[in-house]
Chain A
C-alpha cells in the first residue's frame, strides 16, 4: 500500500460541476503538495500547504493534519481543468516527496 493514496483514480464531470479530489497519507508530514499534469506531460505546482486552507482562483486546497487528509476542490469546473492531479507528501524528517498515483480528471463541455 502506497503511503499516499488518492481518490478517485478517475473522475469525469460536466462543465460547471464542483470537483473534489482526495488525498490520504499514513505518516506525519512537513508539507503536502498538489500538482497538475496536463496531457503533454508538463507539471505545474498548484499548492504547497502544511495546515489550513489555500485558495487560488477556482482552486482550493485544504489539509487536516490530525486526520492525515487533504482535498483539492475546483469550483465552476471547465474543460481546460482536464488533467491529472497529483498529491505529494513530504514526510517529517525525510528528504524526498512521496507521490500519490494521481487522479485523472476529465471535464466535458
Chain B
C-alpha cells in the first residue's frame, strides 16, 4: 500500500460521541498535516507535525485534538463536537514541511 490513507471515509456522529480519525502515510515523509474543508470555503490548516513534533496549531478548538505517535501516523481525536465541525477533514504529508503535499482522500464528518 502506498500514499496517504485516511479512515474512515465517512463518519456520522452525535455531539456527545467520541471518535478518532486516522491517517497513515507510506511515503517516508517527515511532515504531516490536518486540514479542514467546509462547504464553499478554502482549505483551512489545523495542525502541522514535523518529525512528530507539532509545529503549527491554528487556533483549533480543543474538542478536536491531534496525536502523532510516529512519523507515519496521525490521528484526530473528536469529542463533544458541534454541528459546525461537520466538514471534510483532509490529511496530508510531505517530505519536509511545506514541500510538495500528498493528500489522503479525506474523511467526511457529519455531526448530528
Contacts and interface: CB of A to CB of B under 8 A. Distances in A.
A86 interface: yes
Contact of B45 (A31, A42, A96, A100): A96
Given A95-B56, A97-B45, A101-B42, A41 B102 contact: no
A109 interface: no
Interface stretch (B61-69, B72-80, B103-111): B103-111
Nearest to A31: B98
Contacts of A64: none
Contacts, number: 57
B101 interface: yes
A43 B98 contact: no
A43 B100 CA distance: 12
B43 A99 contact: yes
A82 B98 CA distance: 26
A90 interface: yes
A41 B56 contact: no
B48 interface: yes
A95 B42 contact: no
Contacts of A4: 42
Contact of A44 (B45, B48, B103, B108): B103
A87 to B, nearest CB: 10
A86 B41 CA distance: 11
Given A99-B43, A102-B42, A45 B58 contact: no
A60 to B, nearest CB: 17
Contacts of A99: 42-44
A95 B100 contact: no
Interface of A: 2, 4, 30-31, 33, 35, 40-45, 48, 86, 88, 90, 95-97, 99-102
Interface of B: 37, 40-45, 48, 55-56, 58, 88, 90, 92, 97-106, 108
Given A35-B103, A95-B97, 5 more contacts: A31-B98, A42-B104, A43-B103, A45-B100, A95-B48
